[in-house]
């Protein structure tokens, strides 16, 4: 195919040379530190108050730095980390089931189909033990065994029990604990909390990140905040698909604006489709609902063996059911990784075996578990999830199987960072799902909450001070500096451009159409033909957006249509780069499944000779794309074809 981009220089991940198992300890030993009396001379901006942002802000403030924490929510505890349900992984090996750091790393690297940085996976494993102890200490109410030890359960892609949980509301409980730690620092005067403030641009001066421009979502006022360093912990961009498991307000603007200021974006096409979401039930539906992967511990997934069988599930006998995950992957069964389970479900649905009114789902059945364990045990494990399902669908999962289907969920792609969590812009650090670290081409369940906590509590509090140590004596950028005024002027100009179009179509309709394009062209599976067509359609949609957008209301007050318009404008640009990245990566790996590249039995076929690297994209001011790469090496985990059979 003709190149739609140019190829740039190779990047260094800056991980310490040598054994990746000891890289993190050696790097911590080499980090510079800032003395206690000098810490109050530095200020740090943290954007986002989820687990990564709240953890980083609280930890840095506890150390003595002054932190400005920004959130577009009315309170930090409303950040989207609350939505993660199933649990958080940790290699504490309390189950005596032969878990270990090496096994954790192997599972994570293999689960990501060898497209992540191996040294990152070792750090994730090593710090996971501290994370659980820390969260337990600050009040997370983890489930416990009868004797008081913290309980665990299994998740997909893993054959040991390493997932700690608080029923089906783990993210919510961890977020409450992290928010309380943050608010403790607010009360102590070490954190200045800015609520209902949306970051609209990054201030770059003298070649480094020195502040942000924000819009007050209540008054509409544009303002700026400067600091010695900026941390972005603003979550993933799964809502680019419109119908996703994410909250409707989740968006990509902060990360994308940083990208347009020079921060590289890594592997944007690596998007995870969660296999355990509720199916779309009507054309007017605005999002999908997530059912925790933990349900796959006790629920069995099946479809009728005969295509088009529309009998109620209770009338279909056992010998006429296809428990297809157990049939295809007997070793892992219903706990296959999410990308594998999603593709298998999509295969069943598209071959005519789908169930439900729209025939767009598969069954997740708890009949066997009810007979084996009893209702009280299932209620203790998943009661709130069963209640949520009943309230959403009107069906009782104690009586009939759940109906589930793949839906856009987690983004493994994100702003590229080196081993120190710093982006290609000096002074701009990234934490949590806004970054690309740890997960490669597919995230294992329960590694999301873990990676956010490791970044926030145990990585950024080491790496940010190392950067700040080189700025001792440097003042914070003045509020009237030319770079501040120029960036704020750019924000005003962009808002004026959106509101002056005067078209007939609201931003929501453009967003819905964009999501349909992406699901069709860059979804669970994709091909050169589908991606090429998607790029053409996105460009056509973008042209219509900028000629027919209607934004009602003014700019100087609360205006959610203006918020949506700005986010959709960024989604259109991001979607183009996602499809370009997917078209460029001429292989299959993890959740990036190119139909041209599959094994005879339908599994992803990697090309390690040509594509064993992370793509890091640069978008230049003229809109042209440049693809850089970070070569990936695996010394502790041998490159191998994934096998979950």
Q: Which residues are catalytic?
A: 338
* CA 399 – CA 366 distance, rounded (Å): 9
Q: Which two tokens stand for residue 625?
A: 């794309």
State the Cα–Cα distance between residues 492 and 496, nearest whole angstrom. 6
Contact present, 110 and 102 (Cβ < 8 Å):
no
Alpha helices in 217-285 (DSSP H): 253-260
d(CA 113, CA 608): 11
Closest CA to 62 of 455, 405, 558, 457: 457
DSSP state letters, 243-301: SBSS-TT--SHHHHHHHHTT--EE-TT-EEEEEEEPPP-STT-----B--GGGGGT-EE
The span from the CA of 456 to the CA of 232, in Å, is 11
Token pair, residue 314, equals 């209770």
Is residue 599 a contact partner of residue 83, using CB atoms and an 8 Å limit? no
Q: Is 279 left (phi over 0), alpha (psi -120 to 50) or beta?
A: beta
Burial class (CB in 10 A: 0-12, 13-18, 19+), 462: middle
Pairing of strands 222-226, 208-216: antiparallel
Torsion angle of C-alpha atoms 105, 108, 111, 117, degrees rounded to 10:
-90
How far apart are alpha carbons 489 and 598 in whole angstroms?
Answer: 49
Q: Are 415 and 574 in contact (CB under 8 A)?
A: no
H or E stretch covering 275: strand 271-277
Beta bridge partners of 422: 429
Q: From 293, 303, 240, 337, select the one nearest 604 (Cα to Cα).
A: 337
What are the residues facing 290 on neighbouring strands?
Answer: 277
40, 65 in Cβ contact below 8 A?
Answer: yes
């Amino acid at each position: 195919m003709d190149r739609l981009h140019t190829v740039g220089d190779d990047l260094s991940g800056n991980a310490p040379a040598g054994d990746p198992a000891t890289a993190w300890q050696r790097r911590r030993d080499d980090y510079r530190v800032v003395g206690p009396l000098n810490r109050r001379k530095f200020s740090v901006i943290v954007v986002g108050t989820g687990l990564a942002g709240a953890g980083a802000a609280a930890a840095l403030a506890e150390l003595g730095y002054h932190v400005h924490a920004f959130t577009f929510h009315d309170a930090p505890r409303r950040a989207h980390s609350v939505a993660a349900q199933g649990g958080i992984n940790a290699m504490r090996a309390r189950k005596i089931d032969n878990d270990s750091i090496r096994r954790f790393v192997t599972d994570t690297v293999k689960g990501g189909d060898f497209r992540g940085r191996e040294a990152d996976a070792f750090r994730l494993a090593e710090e996971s033990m501290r994370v659980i102890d820390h969260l337990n200490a600050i009040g997370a109410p983890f489930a416990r065994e009868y004797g008081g030890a913290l309980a665990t359960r299994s998740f997909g892609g893993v054959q040991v029990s390493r997932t700690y949980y608080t029923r089906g509301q783990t993210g919510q409980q961890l977020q409450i604990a992290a928010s309380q730690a943050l608010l403790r620092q607010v009360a102590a005067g070490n954190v200045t909390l800015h609520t209902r403030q949306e970051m609209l641009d990054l201030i770059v001066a003298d070649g480094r990140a020195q502040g942000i421009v924000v819009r007050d979502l209540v008054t509409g006022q544009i303002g700026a905040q400067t600091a010695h360093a900026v941390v972005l912990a603003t979550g993933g961009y799964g809502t680019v698909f419109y119908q996703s498991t994410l909250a409707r307000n989740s968006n990509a603007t902060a990360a994308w604006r940083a990208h347009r200021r020079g921060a590289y974006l890594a592997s944007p096409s690596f998007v995870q489709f969660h296999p355990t979401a509720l199916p779309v039930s009507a054309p007017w539906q605005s999002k999908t609902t997530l059912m925790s992967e933990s349900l796959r511990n006790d629920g069995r997934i099946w479809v009728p063996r005969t295509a088009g069988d529309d009998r109620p599930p209770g009338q279909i006998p056992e010998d006429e059911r296809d428990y297809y995950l157990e049939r295809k992957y007997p070793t892992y069964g219903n706990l296959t990784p999410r990308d594998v389970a999603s593709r298998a479900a999509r295969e069943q649905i598209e071959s005519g075996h789908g169930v439900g009114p729209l025939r767009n789902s598969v069954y997740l059945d708890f009949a066997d578990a009810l007979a084996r364990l009893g209702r009280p045990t299932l209620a203790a494990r998943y009661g709130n999830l069963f209640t949520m399902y009943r309230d959403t669908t009107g069906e009782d999962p104690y009586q009939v199987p759940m109906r589930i289907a793949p839906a856009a969920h987690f983004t493994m792609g994100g702003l590229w960072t080196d081993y120190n969590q710093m982006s290609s812009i000096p002074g701009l650090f990234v934490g949590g799902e806004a970054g690309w670290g740890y997960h490669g081409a597919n995230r294992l369940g329960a590694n999301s909450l873990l990676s956010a906590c490791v970044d926030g509590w145990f990585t950024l509090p080491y790496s940010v001070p190392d950067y700040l140590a080189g700025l001792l004596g440097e003042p914070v950028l003045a509020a009237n500096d030319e770079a501040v005024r120029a960036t704020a002027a750019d924000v005003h100009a962009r808002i004026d451009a959106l509101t002056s179009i005067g078209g007939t179509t609201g931003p929501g309709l453009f967003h819905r159409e964009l999501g349909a394009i992406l699901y069709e062209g860059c979804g669970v599976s994709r091909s050169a033909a589908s991606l090429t067509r998607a790029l053409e359609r996105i460009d056509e949609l973008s042209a219509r957006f900028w000629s027919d957008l209607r934004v009602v209301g003014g700019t100087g007050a609360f205006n959610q249509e203006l918020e949506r318009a700005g986010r959709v404008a960024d989604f259109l640009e991001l979607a183009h780069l996602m499809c370009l990245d997917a078209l460029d990566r001429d292989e299959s790996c993890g959740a990036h499944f190119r139909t041209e590249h599959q094994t005879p039995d339908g599994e992803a076929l990697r090309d390690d000779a040509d594509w064993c690297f992370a793509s890091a994209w640069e978008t230049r001011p003229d809109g042209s794309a440049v693809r850089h790469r970070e070569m990936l090496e695996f010394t502790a985990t041998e490159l191998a074809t994934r096998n979950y059979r």
